[in-house]
Amino acid sequence: MENELFEAAREAMAKAHAPYSKFPVGAAIRAEDGKIYSGANIENLSFPEGWCAETTAISHMVMAGQRKILEVAVIAEKLALCPPCGGCRQRLAEFSGASTRIFLCDETGVRKTLSMSDLLPHSFETEILG
C-alpha cells in the first residue's frame, strides 16, 4: 500500500513546475474513498505565490468530493525524506487525524513513517471558527 503512494508521488514529482527553485516535489494522498490523489509543486515567479505538492494533492482530493486523508507520501528530487513545510503540515492536519501516516520517501521508496501528531504535535485547532 505504501508503495502505491510512493509511486504516485514520484510520478507527480515528474510533473512539477519548478523553474525557479529547481526543487521538484511530489505528494500523494490516500483519501477515505481509497483513491489516491496526487500533486506536484507549481511555482510562480511572484514568490511565494506558488503551490506546494501537498496543497495541490489536497485540492484534487477536495475537488473529488473527499474530505478525509488516511495517509500521505512526499518525495523531493533533491532532498531525501523531505517533510512537508509548516503551512502544508497545517493543511494536512485539517483533513487528517492524529494517527494519519505520513511517509517520507527517497528515490527508492518509503524510508520514514511519521504520524500526523509527530509531524505537527500542536496543530492549530479551534471549535469557535466553525
pLDDT above 70 (res 65): yes
Close Cβ partners of 40 (under 8 Å, ≥ 6 residues apart): 12, 13, 14, 15, 16, 17, 24, 25, 26, 27, 53, 56
| pLDDT tens digits, one per residue of 83-117 | 999 999 999 999 999 999 999 999 999 999 999 99
Which pLDDT band holds residue 6 (cuts at 50, 70, 90)? very high
CA 28/CA 100 separation, integer angstroms: 13
Predicted TM-score of the model (pTM): 0.93
Provide the H-helix boundaries in the chain.
2-13, 53-63, 86-94, 116-119
From the candidates 7, 43, 54, 71, which is the catalytic residue? 54
Is residue 2 part of the annotated active site? The answer reads no
CA 82/CA 129 separation, integer angstroms: 31
CA 61/CA 47 separation, integer angstroms: 25
pLDDT, average across residues 4-30: 97
User: Using an 8 Å Cβ cutoff, are 9 and 29 in contact?
Assistant: no
Q: Of residues 36 and 49, which shows the higher confidence score? A: 36
